[in-house]
Chains A and B, each alone.
Chain A
Amino acid sequence: MGSLVGDDDLYIGSFLELFNLRFGIEQKDVEFAFGGITEMTFLQKEFQIFQVGRPFVHSAKLLGLGGLQNNRAKNRWFKLLTWLQTIPSDNAGETGDQRIVNALIANFGPGGATLPCFMRAHDSRDPKGYGLKVVVLVGDTPIFYIKQPYLTISLPMAPSVPP
Chain B
Amino acid sequence: MGTASSASQLDSDRGGKLDAIYSGIAAYYSAKAEKFGPTPLGVDWTCQATQEMRFVQLLKLCDFTSAFSLNDLGCGYGALVSYLDRRHPDPPIDYLGIDVSANMVRQAKQLWGGRPAVAFVHGHIIPRTADYALASGIFNVELDQPREEWEKFIRESLDNLYETSLRGFAVNFMKRLAGTSGRKGLYYAEPADWAHYCANRFGAATEVREDYGMRESTLIVRIFGQKAKSSSK
Query: What is the interface of chain A, defined by CB distance below 8 A to chain B?
Result: 27, 29-35, 38-43, 46-47, 49, 62-65, 68
Are A42 and B213 in contact (CB-based, < 8 A)?
yes
Apart from A34-B175, A40-B213, A47-B53, 5 more pairs, CB < 8 Å: A35-B215, A41-B213, A43-B53, A46-B56, A68-B41
| Closest partner residue, chain A, to B40 (CB atom) | A64
Task: Give the contacting residue for B214; candidates A42, A49, A63, A64; CB below 8 A.
Answer: A42
How close is A81's CB to chain B, nearest CB, in angstroms?
15
Q: Are the CB atoms of A63 and B211 closer together than 8 Å?
A: no
Q: Verify if B10 is at the interface (C-beta below 8 Å from A).
A: no
Question: Is B178 within 8 A of A63, CB to CB?
Answer: no
Q: How many B residues touch A, CB cutoff 8 Å? A: 20
Chain B residues in 8 Å Cβ range of A42: 53, 212-214
In contact, B177 and A64 (Cβ under 8 angstroms): no
* Complexed CA–CA distance, A68 and B214 (Å): 20
> B51-83 toward A: CB 8 Å interface, digit per residue (1/0)?
011001000000000000000000000000000
**Do B48 and A62 touch (CB < 8 A)?**
yes
Interface contact A62-B49, CB-CB below 8 Å: yes
State the majority secondary structure of interface residues on B: loop
Partner of A64, one of B46, B52, B210, B215: B46
Q: Which residues of A contact B211 (CB under 8 A)?
A: 32
A47 touches B49 (CB 8 A): yes
In the complex, per-residue mask of B31-46: 1 if CB is within 8 Å of any chain A CB, else 0: 0000000001100001
Question: A71 → chain B, closest Cβ, in Å?
Answer: 10
- B177 CB contact (under 8 Å) in A29, A40, A46, A65: A29
Question: Contact: B177 with A27, CB < 8 Å?
Answer: yes
Closest to B210 in A: A32
Q: Could you list 24 examples of A-B contacts with CB < 8 Å?
A: A27-B177, A29-B178, A29-B179, A32-B211, A34-B175, A34-B213, A34-B214, A35-B214, A35-B215, A38-B213, A40-B213, A42-B53, A42-B212, A42-B213, A43-B50, A43-B53, A43-B213, A47-B49, A47-B52, A63-B49, A64-B41, A64-B47, A65-B47, A68-B41
